[in-house]
A and B are shown apart, each in its own frame.
Chain A
């Protein structure tokens, strides 16, 4: 693959990144604000506008689009609205990146509707599946005696599994498959010149998904799960608390005293700096 490839230029990659980030960020900002409407237990959530990064990943460099989507979601809908959930966001970041990237790599010719449809569906499915697995694990770890609470494990499996199929069939088809099928042929050949690029063709596309890329994605998937598991099972790291449980009271008193001393010293410092500033 010595031939010049689509979006291989560094600054063009940055363009794709900026484009995906702002568009998908805007869209996720809205989904965060649109109230979810429920019919009985069935939740018709407008889960995401994932079609935006999917389209851009199919038309341009998949990795830049995938990273842009993940960053856009993180910044617009999480940090801007103060919904940043710490650990949980890492998982979302990785799943969105992998889902969009795989979808983008699947398509070699954006005019092939069949392939575009499959890619959109697969990308959404991957993202949702990983999210579901992680969600179940999270609830399992966050609640002590998970198994002991009557009805809780089943209800978690049920709600999560239901949400998965609901999202895949409802949002997946309505908000990912159809818009992608509609917009990709429309944008193809029009949006690329605006950014100074050549449209992706069979020849200029990145090489077909080989076993190597597949393996790479699997490894990334494993890393996502492992990192999430590590983050959740940090409990073991903190369980050393039990070792000094007997002297916990003394420890707490020591902590209070240390804090008080530090507070007094700092107050003193503050006074003196204020005086200095006044003298100046």
Chain B
């Protein structure tokens, strides 16, 4: 049994390496641009998202909420979201409401708190699945174009495009810095409780120390980036209406987009109908 547990934890730790993280994030960003969701018009998808991000908060109708949840679950499957993201989603939802549930019992609550908390869980799950569909399913470039069309500040769309490109590099650099610290460092032995705490403190210290070279390196890099942007006239282009128009000309609403919208609408209205009949 112990052997099995050891193997299990080893394999989990193995999977949870820096490379795995990087791959998952990259896969999430660029790996699935052949799905139905990725091909959709970002504007339509954002409007769709706005509905499913807002309306569930204001409804207490269980049938309606579950209906919405099922719909966004289907779209999440369609978007082929990376496993890590889904894992985080499940962890997040249950740690949020499950924790609250336990504490309610501590304060003399009884079974009556289950139902409101269940409603809250479904609400949270629906909203976050909708956001996973839109923000993980869409290509980052399309997403930032869509946000720009809705008049979001240029900085936001720039940041999205930049973040997805810089992340793999930053992760690699961070990993290298950490590894070099580990090579040169002398970690305390892990025996007994006190030395375990010491070991943890040491790890945290290394983590913080490693931000020192990282900060300096990133400072250099961001200077290069901004200088390159200046050469291309970025700050002028960001405020220029003609350039914005040219950039957004590639966005086109197709029949499939409207079909998606109408199908969602049909589903929601059927759910509303059912909830009124019950």
A binds B: yes
Interface membership of A137, Cβ < 8 A: no
Rounded to whole Å, the gap between the CB of A236 and the closest CB of chain B is 9
Rounded to whole Å, the gap between the CB of A176 and the closest CB of chain B is 11
Rounded to whole Å, the gap between the CB of A100 and the closest CB of chain B is 15
Of all chain A residues, the one with the shortest Cβ separation from B272 is A252
Rounded to whole Å, the gap between the CB of B224 and the closest CB of chain A is 10
Decide if B159 touches A75 in the complex (CB within 8 Å).
yes
User: Pick the contact of B135 from A18, A84, A139 — CB < 8 Å?
Assistant: A84
Interface membership of B119, Cβ < 8 A: yes
Q: Give complex CA distance A19, B214 in Å.
A: 11
User: Pick the contact of B259 from A19, A252, A267 — CB < 8 Å?
Assistant: A267
Decide if A259 touches B255 in the complex (CB within 8 Å).
no
Rounded to whole Å, the gap between the CB of A215 and the closest CB of chain B is 25
Decide if A82 touches B136 in the complex (CB within 8 Å).
yes
* Interfacial chain B residues near A23, Cβ < 8 Å: 170, 211, 214-215, 218
How would you classify the secondary structure of chain B's contact residues: helix, strand, loop or mixed?
helix
Of residues 225 through 278 on chain B, the ones whose CB sits less than 8 Å from some CB of chain A are 225-227, 229-230, 235, 255-256, 258-259, 262-263, 265-266, 268-270, 272-273, 275-277
Rounded to whole Å, the gap between the CB of A157 and the closest CB of chain B is 10
Rounded to whole Å, the gap between the CB of A174 and the closest CB of chain B is 7
Interface string of A192-206 (1 = CB under 8 A from B): 001110000000000
Interface membership of B47, Cβ < 8 A: no
Q: Give complex CA distance A172, B216 in Å.
A: 24
Of residues 101 through 137 on chain B, the ones whose CB sits less than 8 Å from some CB of chain A are 103-110, 112-113, 116-117, 119-120, 123, 127-128, 131-132, 134-136
Decide if A155 touches B106 in the complex (CB within 8 Å).
yes
Chain B interface size, as a band, is 35 or more
Q: Give complex CA distance A166, B273 in Å.
A: 47
Interface membership of A15, Cβ < 8 A: yes
Rounded to whole Å, the gap between the CB of A31 and the closest CB of chain B is 11
Given contacts A11-B230, A191-B216, contact A79 B135 (CB under 8 A): yes
Interface membership of B36, Cβ < 8 A: no
Rounded to whole Å, the gap between the CB of A105 and the closest CB of chain B is 21
Interface membership of A32, Cβ < 8 A: yes
Q: Give complex CA distance A205, B9 in Å.
A: 51
Interface membership of A266, Cβ < 8 A: yes
Of all chain A residues, the one with the shortest Cβ separation from B174 is A26
Decide if B104 touches A152 in the complex (CB within 8 Å).
yes
Decide if A11 touches B58 in the complex (CB within 8 Å).
no
* Interfacial chain A residues near B45, Cβ < 8 Å: none
* Interfacial chain A residues near B156, Cβ < 8 Å: 71
Of all chain A residues, the one with the shortest Cβ separation from B130 is A86
Interface membership of A3, Cβ < 8 A: no
Decide if A259 touches B266 in the complex (CB within 8 Å).
yes
Interface membership of B1, Cβ < 8 A: no
List, sorted by A's number, 21 A–B pairs whose CB atoms are closer than 8 Å: A11-B226, A21-B159, A22-B163, A23-B215, A52-B211, A82-B136, A83-B128, A85-B128, A142-B120, A144-B119, A145-B116, A151-B104, A151-B113, A155-B104, A155-B107, A178-B208, A183-B208, A196-B223, A238-B58, A259-B262, A262-B258
